[in-house]
Amino acid sequence: MRTTAARSLALVALLAACGEPPAVSLQESPIVGGQIAPDGYLPAVGALVAYSWGQVMPFCTGTLVSDQLVISAAHCVKAIGSEIPSGTPIGFFYGQSVKASGASSKILPIASWQAHPSYKGGNPPATLSNWYDIAYLKLAKPTTIAPIKLIRPTELGLLKYGVDLLIAGYGLTSAQNQSSSGTKYYAKTTLASVGQSELLLGGKGKPQTCSGDSGGPTLLDAGKGSEDWRLVGVTSRGDQYCMLESVDTRVDPFLSWIHSAGTIPCGSGLSPDCDSAPAPTPPTPPTPTPPTPTPTPPTPTPPTPTPPSTPTPAPTKGLGEACTQSSDCASALCAEADGARFCSELCDPAAGCGSGMQCLPAGADRFACAPPSAEASFDGETLGSGCALGAAPAAPTAAVLLLLALALPLARRRR
């Protein structure tokens, strides 16, 4: 989400100069390194838009998971009523590009929205955390667009390091081109790390989400090539220039909360919370059978003891030991320097590190422990913050729309 005091000051100045209420205009941004989605591809992935006086301005991305429920990021809906003035109509745009002719005819009005109650906002965490950056929005009326299924608890074994994932959104295709938003893009990336309630995606040189992709989906193909998509993550944040990596909120820890919205009916195949309840089977009348001789009782067979399952050991790797993901390390931080990955932890340059490690720069105002053989600083692949926007709708005019379009790129980036 982009927030800046300059935006509010400029808005006041514009109101004083024009003497009439302005309309909202948001310019957010698509997938870096991706490609334009063909018309009709991933129809359940749409843009969250503010629309007024014939203008359609995207500010985030969302995913239909039922005929009336859209999943997005908490910081996106928190922007409604703050960055987006109260009373501005909000909708779900399901077309390919908001810049296309007749785009306003492909907007489904949104009636209500709800951020996760544990989401507190503020500065985004620099590492995988429990930030609760997830929200749902309800359409005013049901739609016939085919939704995307939520991942099921029985499918969590598919979330492994290096697995292929699909990302999609209407955000910037380049962090340097603030006008490159509003068109649906998609790209393949990989899973870099799995946290308790978040995912780390991609890496240097791989496609990335960027501003305006916030709230958009990360999809996993449960059909192994058949595009039987499951929603596994919601775009949350990433580095400022959309070049290194991005962080998603995992969907599976919040399945019960999503289901509490009450718009995913049992029997639809979309709801993990009630898929396991089998439909009742009508009784079958007994079939008469002729009498048979009394069988010889079977010889009892003693049960075979089942060995107790071995609990999964807690991460034990110490500082400097090789790792592939943060869950390998006792410190919960797997860093990379000079092409090697090792267990690390944040440090104070004045205090240094133990275990023969050295405290090296690791991004803006952060330092982390590294082996003595490492270069003078890390590769720069540290988590930053991302961008996008994050409740109830008097229709403003076109001037605020243009104003927010100019002010929006000035803030620190959440997706």
Task: List, for residues 19-45, the tens digit of each pLDDT value.
Answer: 333 332 233 334 455 678 888 899 999
Report CA Rg, the chain: 25
- pLDDT digit string (tens) for 233-245? 999 988 776 767 7
Question: Per the structure block, which two tokens stand in for 76?
Answer: 């996106």
Q: Give me the chain's average pLDDT, please.
A: 74
Taking the C-alpha atoms of residue 34 and residue 32, their distance in angstroms, rounded to an integer, is 6
What is the pLDDT, as a whole number, of residue 25? Answer: 29
Output DSSP code: residue 6: H
Q: 365: which 2 tokens?
A: 């105002």
Count the neighbouring beta carbons within 10 Å of the beta carbon of residue 251: 24
Q: Round to whole Å and give the CA distance between 195 and 217.
A: 17
Contact (Cβ atoms closer than 8 angstroms) between residue 89 and residue 50: yes
- Identify how many contiguous H helices and E strands the chain contains and give both numbers: 5, 18
Q: What is the mean pLDDT of residues 382-388?
A: 34
CA distance 78 to 388: 10
Tell me how far apart the terminal alpha carbons of the chain are, to the nearest angstrom.
6
Distance from CA of residue 5 to its chain's centroid? 26
184-240 pLDDT tens trace: 989 899 999 999 999 999 866 665 566 657 899 999 999 877 789 999 999 998 877
Q: Which pLDDT value is given to residue 76? A: 95
pTM for the whole thing? 0.59
Q: Which residue has the tokens 């400029």?
A: 10
Q: Is 156 helix (H, G, I), strand (E, B) or coil?
A: helix
The pLDDT value given to residue 399: 36
Average pLDDT over residues 371-394: 46
What are the tens digits of pLDDT across the range 127-182? 899 999 999 999 999 999 999 999 999 999 999 999 999 999 887 655 454 555 68
Spatial separation of the C-alpha atoms in residues 193 and 206, rounded to whole Å? 15
Task: Please give the Cα distance from 367 to 340 (Å, whole number).
Answer: 17
Does pLDDT of 291 surpass 90? no
